[in-house]
Structure 1
Amino acid sequence: MLKSRSQKLLMVTLVFALMLTLIPTMPAFAEGETMTMKQLYYSVWPEYDKAPDVLVIYSGVFVNDTGAPFQGELRYKVPKNANINMVCETEKGMLCQKYVVDKDNPDYDVIVWKPSHPVEPGAEFPVMMEYYHQPFAAGSSPKAFTETFRPAFPVETLAVDIKAPTGASEIALTPEAQQTESDAEGFTSYYYQYTNLTNEDAFTFDVSYVRESNEPSVDPGTGQGAPQEDSSSQAGSTNTMVIVLLLVFVALLSVFLFIAINNNNKQNQNKGKGKKGNKGNQGKGGGKGASAKKSSGKTSAEEKRKLRKMLIDGKISEETYHQLLEEIDD
């Protein structure tokens, strides 16, 4: 009995030891392991196509530097209760993915999602994400907010773009922008660049400006600047264009119908002529047809006599004779 128990204990010990030796060789991702963002464009556009919302856009390229095919989770840290517009991978167009929102942290929410396929080691993986949040109330003056960028992944190069809305004045940013640029559409953009960020870093931008309008800078339906022309003149020009297109269509349809009817009439005329000609030929050529049949009958009989004579003279075999005879009959 004791010997049996000791053998069982030894067996269990050996199995446990074998499992311990195998566990280190099993590939596994450490908790929170993620890919590195090779280059990220982080755009902050207050009152762009929604007011008083601030639009934030992530647009970047991950690179799989984990040493194994990546099938894990990707995370974005966003303001509390942000309105997520899209979470997409952009390898082959805009392919948006399902995501969940982790609200456990009191300071920010976390967007959690997975790529639609494994990302091979060393491969690049382009992505895009948009969200809106409301850091200030409509009609406040000055309009001020704090934008905090918290990467949930290492970032090699970060480019920040803060775009002041059209009609804004007394614009103040902290820290001061590294570069400023204005365009013909009335926007002024402020640029920053950072390198070699870790997932523990955080960058804060304080933005304030004065703006009397509470309307978005661009038309939400088109993404373009708000139309300046009178809507009635636009409707009139649209109606004129529709009428012109209808007239062109009717004219083309009339031409096609005329050609089709004309061709149909010509075909009917040709058929009528063909029938009359055939009747005339039948009346005139009846005798010729009969004589042709008679002559062909005489020719067949003569050929059959020749074949018969060749068979009797031994010039062809009986099998050949019957074959040739069938050909004459046919």
Structure 2
Amino acid sequence: MIRKFLTWIGMLFLFLSILPGQSNAQEETPILKMEELKVQVMPEYAKHPEDKEQDHPSLLIGYHGTLVNNTDSPLKGQIEIPLPMNEDEFRIGFVADYNRNLTELNEIEYEKDQDKGTISWETTEEIQPNESYKFVIEYYTAQLVAKGESKKATYQFKSFANIGLVNVIFLEPLKSEQFQLTPPADSHQENGYGMNMFSYQIQGMKPDDIKEFQLEYTRAETRTTMDIMAEMTGDPAHGKEAVKQNETLPIWQVIALVGGICIVAAVLILFLLKRKKPIQKAQEKETKDYEIKKQRLRAMLLDGSISEQEYNELMKKE
């Protein structure tokens, strides 16, 4: 009975430690410290997993957070994160956390509180003293305003905790032109796949601190960046032409990265054709889930969320 009571108290403190606007969290060292939050702003990057078509270009936002256990005891409890649910066509795409050694990315069940504008979940594993806990949240909105080929959006990040470092990264969609950001980015780099990434580093954000950014570009292409990438990796001949036109993705890197995966997928399709319909439906669902996870991990590799070594380790688990 005492153990249950202490466990409940521990979960309550863990829950309260990252709620925005808690005066204790500002005056005292929180039980879970939000050490770093990477915010990725990705216009026309991908469609929502449930969408086959889209009438309006989407804006995908990714949170990659790192919390640290500041106590002397292992903690396992409830995490609550506010999200801008009042945005037009707001939809959650993906919520997950990593295991302790960062070799598995576990999609997790979460509860959505529309009135409070938060989602919450229980940590998959205990967080050991001084250990990091990493999570991923992806959501979509329709706040990208399109007038013909011209695209504009205002993105506002409102801090929900004391965060040591906030890194806001904008990914320029493939086949776009005249990409501009206001204020100007702190740094710009092109990753190994030819994608432009613009970064802002903000030290020491407090609850309710706000940073606002405007982005503007032109783009005639209606396919998402991930659709273009899928074409590049799915058909080497077509991929070479796409690389030549876009000057974005070295084809040898594409083949080295996903060539084996495509062969596995082809074998699965051939196997499914030989099975009865009930089994075929189950296998199709499993294959679809696998493809979604594969695409998501590939996207995280491309946008720099994970390294190639982490990508390879995570793919082994799928």
CA contact (8 A) 2:80 2:118 kept: no
Match for residue 110 of structure 2?
A: 99
After superposition, the C-alpha distances for 1:110-143 in whole angstroms (9 at most, x for unaligned) are 2222213442442211212222222135564421
Counterparts of residues 43-62 of structure 1 (less than 5 Å): 43-50=40-47, 52-62=57-67
| Distance apart, 1:70 and its partner CA | 4.9
CA contact (8 A) 1:98 1:113 kept: yes
Say yes or no: does 1:32 pair with 2:43.
no
Distance of aligned partners of 1:132 and 1:223 in 2 relative to their CA distance in 1, 3 Å threshold:
farther
Which has more helix, going by share of residues? 1
Give, in whole Å, the separation in 1 of the partners of 2:16 and 2:228. Answer: 37
SS at match of 1:218: helix
Give, in whole Å, the separation in 2 of the partners of 1:183 and 1:44. Answer: 16
| Distance apart, 1:90 and its partner CA | 0.7
Distance of aligned partners of 1:226 and 1:44 in 2 relative to their CA distance in 1, 3 Å threshold:
farther
After superposition, the C-alpha distances for 1:256-285 in whole angstroms (9 at most, x for unaligned) are xxxxxxxxxxxxxxxxxxxxxxxxxxxxxx
Distance of aligned partners of 1:120 and 1:74 in 2 relative to their CA distance in 1, 3 Å threshold:
farther
**Could you tell which deviates more after superposition, 176-185 or 190-199?**
176-185
After superposition, the C-alpha distances for 1:19-56 in whole angstroms (9 at most, x for unaligned) are xxxxxxx8762873222222222111111123611222
Say yes or no: does 1:65 pair with 2:70.
yes
Match for residue 124 of structure 1?
A: 132
TM-score norm. by structure 2 comes to 0.55
Q: Work out which of the residue numbers 112, 128, 133 in structure 1 matches 2:120.
A: 112
| Distance apart, 1:177 and its partner CA | 0.3
SS at match of 1:29: helix
| Distance apart, 1:187 and its partner CA | 2.6
Q: Work out which of the residue numbers 161, 166, 190 in structure 2 matches 1:153.
A: 161
Match for residue 264 of structure 1?
A: none
Counterparts of residues 161-176 of structure 1 (less than 5 Å): 161-176=169-184
CA contact (8 A) 1:161 1:192 kept: yes
Match for residue 302 of structure 1?
A: none
CA contact (8 A) 1:44 1:162 kept: yes
CA contact (8 A) 2:68 2:133 kept: yes
After superposition, the C-alpha distances for 1:40-79 in whole angstroms (9 at most, x for unaligned) are 2211111112361122222232102266535233314234
CA-based RMSD:
3.2
Counterparts of residues 212-251 of structure 1 (less than 5 Å): 212-219=220-227, 222=230, 229=237
Counterparts of residues 180-259 of structure 1 (less than 5 Å): 180-183=188-191, 185-219=193-227, 222=230, 229=237
Give, in whole Å, the separation in 2 of the partners of 1:56 and 1:112. Answer: 18
**Could you tell which deviates more after superposition, 143-152 or 60-69?**
60-69
Match for residue 80 of structure 2?
A: 74
| Distance apart, 1:227 and its partner CA | 5.7
Give, in whole Å, the separation in 1 of the partners of 2:207 and 2:144. Answer: 27
CA contact (8 A) 1:180 1:189 kept: yes
User: Which gives a bigger RCO, structure 1 or 2 (Cα 8 Å, sep 6+)?
Assistant: 2
CA contact (8 A) 1:147 1:204 kept: yes
Percent pairwise identity: 21
